[in-house]
Amino acid sequence: MAGLMLQGTGSDVGKSVMVAGLCRALVNRGLRVLPFKPQNMSNNAAVTPEGGEIGRAQALQALAARAPLHVDMNPVLLKPQADRTSQLVVHGEVRGTLGSANFREARRTLLPEVMASYRRLEARCDLVVVEGAGSPAEINLRAGDIANMGFAREADVPVVLIGDIDRGGVIASLVGTRAVIEPEDAAQIRGFLINKFRGDPALFADGYAAIEQRSGWRGYGVLPWQSAVGRLPSEDAVVLERGLGGGSGKLLVACPILPRIANFDDLDPLRQESGVEVAMIPPGTPIPAEAALIVLPGSKATLADMAFMRAEGWDIDVLAHHRRGGMILGICGGFQMLGRTIADPLGIEGEPGEMAGLGLLDVTTVLGNRKALREVSGTALGVNLTGYEMHMGVTERDMAAPFAMLDGDRPDGAVDASGRVIGTYCHGLLASTDLRAELLARLGAASDRRDHHAEVDAALNELAAAMEEHLDIDGLLALTEYRP
């Protein structure tokens, strides 16, 4: 029974993928490993077999550890909504909302539940690999912290700090963290890792030594930039800043970046198609007229994001695309936006209200307290699909035909008479090879027919091998209580 925690000097320094890579490396050594994140803030979530939800990063880490998903892997999940509030999910179940005014006080009460989850995981494996959130240098958030040093000290797990050299300033970010945190917190940190290095590591030898000398922490290695990371699902919205694309001669898929976009890794299988280019459209930019497919993604605040679409003029772009004969796919919140109306009478995702949708599907949606969380399988477009549902709305079809028939003869989604407007509650459906191939065929493109899940697994093995080569994993294990 042992634990090791990876924290970072900031967001998007690579904590999630390094935890995943370390899990896979240790599992490949024969250890029983489980991932853990005390508190996550993300609108990208996964459904567990028991019908709960956790952050998708922890789902990837569980895959890396070759372990089934469990709500204990992410006991506290905050899902940002409109108006500076977040839906609070504890042990996989919704427990109301938190606002900026009561967030700090509320999280103090959650530490016992976080520790209970951690102890249960600890009892089931040789080593728990823990991921921090944000940075311990955010000392304005230290009081009542359960995500970084507050948890680390309560659980008495050693911490290794990750610095991202690609963004610059890695020496200052690591040494500066040592300078601003409490001495007791600094004592919990036993070392550091350098991530995303490009070029000759020998050129950084002096900088590496300077960090060790100025921080008093030991270095555990420098991980070169890993292209395999680009084949892994990402939880951080920073990846949405990938540019517009276009001009490649490939089939163009466009997806608007909504303020509360959720589960945008639904698009990852399309990104891996050699004949497809996925363009994430930022605010202030029209949806390209040359797009063959527009994907309206999931949303954590459907009414607010629908209003944002109108303010951006994206509703005009979508309707024009439809008039030109283009195809539109709406997933979850995007499905709701394609309908005639969306109502939130209880104020589930913000202020109570009702709003007209795009009117492209003959459906109406009412949001309610009950949340659908389940893995699903069935057929659509004449082929098999698998995925998962995660939504709080109930959508009624009038004259529209269902898009899919799920196991148990349960209809899902809707499709218009032309077959060019599709709405579904099935997240993850594009990972189904046959369905993705059929969708692309209807757009006049051929699929590479790669197994998306196998591609992700191979990328995890590649990342683990690189970490074995470049990092002192034996030294990291020596920090823990694990003894073979």
Enzyme catalytic residues: 332, 427
Helix H or strand E segment including 220: strand 218-224
Nearby residues of 343 by Cβ (< 8 Å), 6 or more positions away = 353, 354, 355, 364, 365, 366, 367
Q: Which residues pair with 162 in a beta bridge?
A: 8, 193
Measured CA distances, 374 to 47, 259, 320, 461 (Å): 6, 25, 35, 28
The Cα 110–Cα 107 span in angstroms is 5
For residue 230, the SS3 value is: helix
Nearby residues of 347 by Cβ (< 8 Å), 6 or more positions away = none
How do strand 85-90 and strand 93-99 relate by DSSP bridges?
antiparallel
| Cβ burial, residue 449 (10 Å; 0-12/13-18/19+) | exposed
**Where would I find the beta strands (DSSP E) of 318-476?**
327-331, 341-344, 353-356, 363-380, 383-397, 404-406, 410-412, 414-415, 421-424
How many CA atoms, within 13 angstroms, populate the side-chain half-sphere of residue 139?
11
Chain-centre distance for alpha carbon 81? 16
Chain-centre distance for alpha carbon 159? 23
- CA dihedral (328, 334, 340, 341) in degrees, to 10, reads -170
The Cα 2–Cα 129 span in angstroms is 9
For residue 218, the SS3 value is: strand
| Cβ burial, residue 284 (10 Å; 0-12/13-18/19+) | exposed
φ/ψ of 67, rounded to 5, equals: -130, 145
The Cα 69–Cα 329 span in angstroms is 28
CA 9-161-133 angle, 5° bins: 55
The closest alpha carbon to 124, from 34, 24, 30, belongs to 34
- Residue listed under structure tokens 């959130």: 133
